[in-house]
A and B are shown apart, each in its own frame.
Chain A
Amino acid sequence: MGKTYSTEELVSRWEDQRYMKNLMGKYANCMILNREHEIFDRFWSKKTENLCLSFNDGAYKGAEAIRAYYEAEYRRNDLVAHLLQKRFPEKLGSLSDEELYGIGPFKVKPMSCPIIEIAEDHQTAKGLWYCQGAYNKVEGCGPVARWTWGYFAVDFTYEDDAWKIFNLMYVNDVDCICGQSWGKEEKPYPPLPEFQPLEEFKYPEYSVKKTIRPLYAPDRVLTKAPEIPVPYRTFAETFSYGIS
């Protein structure tokens, strides 16, 4: 740890850390509540160019692409709910579109083990979280729960008296069907005709399509976690969680 901080600076920096932990907790809650379409406006930077949202197999670059991804999650959630309505007319048939939205998917992405470093110049910060997740997105084979073991790695920028995300990497080591071993070949559930439209659903194309992190396989070589944030002065002097 290089710089020595005054008492007031120490308090501010503690409050900053708490704010970022709260922010990522709210991000996770938005996912649980199928409110992905609110995430961009709530949590992402509006003043930084070259925003980046990345996953195991690609990255969205720029505000427009990232917003389009979250909107696609909304459309997919909506599609799942309508397919369930069609399948269960007695239970869901009378619901309006608004009442129906949110039924079906359940995505719990708990954040643990935060390692946060705030730049000495207080303009940016970096955080790494472990995420032991569980979700059921509803797929072409219907509702199937999956475990995920992975990481959220985030770059934050300080703007308008608040911390905002400008790079977010959510990558997994494991994404496997609950009740099966992630070390063995997956035994998929058979497709169900009532959910076939989900097979045709397409997310927007990645801005950068490449393998950012391969999922675990028995022949995967040691694949290190996203880099641990270290104390730094300015963002130019540290690494980025963005993908180029």
Chain B
Amino acid sequence: MANSRQYTDEELIQRVWDVEEIKKLIHKRVIYITNEMRKEELNDLWVQDPNHQKTASFGRNTGYYTGMDAIRDYYVVHHQKEREEQLKQLHAANPAIADVPQNLHIGCLSSHPVSTGLVELAGDGKTAKGLWYAIAQETEAQPDGTGKALWMPEKIAVDFVKEEDGWKIWHIVVSTDLVSEAGEDYSEQEVYHNYETNPVDVEFGTPTIAKLIHNTDFNWWDNYPPMPEAYETFSDAVSYGPEGYVRPALYGLDSKEGRNFR
């Protein structure tokens, strides 16, 4: 239901500030990512209330991790292990790069600067939904001494909930449109999305709920994650968590289907 309430001046400026605080929160996340502060991100910017933690989710095109334990395992622990392995490989190729903690993340640069913020605060002021777009890039050092620099433009959809100490991230969907190596001809990539080799999908692994929620082969046809609309109070139906996912009613065929008629 759309939010059609009338607010007093005091209520309205508080709502304006709430929106600013939410934007600031997601802007801080941009810096936390660059700083490789994933653990701190979950502690500082994500939900802390145990009930919210149980229902928190982190989605990508191939599904959702649900619950903070699973999110932490994927987003922090697995990432840390990957970076430790990467450092071992760099050290093996070039002993001048010592395999010591201060060299963790050497040659890595992740920038996901968000833009185009669209924030809808619930009529009851307890939750909010936001959508952003980032022309993101991630770069990682390779054993041959170069960095592999990848463009990865993406939508970032977020549900927020107001806890005792302020606004927190509750559900997030990072929907990557494409991955293209800087300096390489993107049009030479195979046309259809390859879930076995796409670095975002490989890194995401097998989530708690593994299902295709956005098929990039059809551009933005499936409209997921959608724009937030004005709403009165939070419900599963409006959630960016798995319970809010709606497959288009008349989906038709999937990629590569229906081609054997000749």
* A residues at B contact (CB < 8 Å): 1, 7, 10-11, 14, 17, 112-116, 128, 130, 132, 149, 173-174, 176, 179-185, 216-222, 224-225, 228
Q: Could you say which residues of chain B place their CB within 8 Å of the CB of A183?
A: 139, 141-142, 146-149, 182
Task: Give 6 A-B pairs besides A113-B30, A116-B24, A130-B113 with Cβ atoms closer than 8 angstroms.
Answer: A113-B27, A114-B23, A183-B141, A184-B147, A217-B147, A218-B147
- The SS class assigned to the B binding surface is mixed
Per the 8 Å Cβ criterion, residues 9-40 of B in contact with A are 9-10, 13-14, 16-17, 20, 23-24, 27-28, 30-31, 34-36
Q: Could you say which residues of chain B place their CB within 8 Å of the CB of A116?
A: 24
Q: Could you say which residues of chain A place their CB within 8 Å of the CB of B107?
A: 217-220
B260 at the interface (CB under 8 A from A): no
Q: Give the CA-CA distance A220 to B20 in the complex, in Å.
A: 34
Q: Could you say which residues of chain B place their CB within 8 Å of the CB of A184?
A: 146-147, 149, 183
Q: How far is the CB of B30 from the nearest CB of chain A, in Å?
A: 5
Given contacts A14-B13, A132-B135, A219-B141, contact A181 B106 (CB under 8 A): no
Given contacts A216-B139, A216-B147, A218-B146, contact A173 B114 (CB under 8 A): no
B103 at the interface (CB under 8 A from A): yes
Interchain CB contact under 8 A, A7 and B9: yes
Chain B count of residues within 8 A CB distance of the other chain:
44
Given contacts A182-B139, A184-B183, A222-B106, contact A14 B16 (CB under 8 A): yes
Q: Give the CA-CA distance A179 to B180 in the complex, in Å.
A: 12
Question: What are the 10 closest A-B residue pairs judged by CB atoms, nearest first?
Answer: A183-B147, A181-B183, A183-B149, A130-B113, A113-B27, A222-B105, A181-B182, A218-B107, A218-B147, A218-B141
Q: Which residue of A lies closest to B33 (CB)?
A: A225
Q: How far is the CB of A180 from the nearest CB of chain B, in Å?
A: 5
Q: Could you say which residues of chain A place their CB within 8 Å of the CB of B30?
A: 113, 130
Interchain CB contact under 8 A, A181 and B113: no
Q: Could you say which residues of chain B place their CB within 8 Å of the CB of A128?
A: 31
Q: Could you say which residues of chain A place their CB within 8 Å of the CB of B141?
A: 183, 218-219
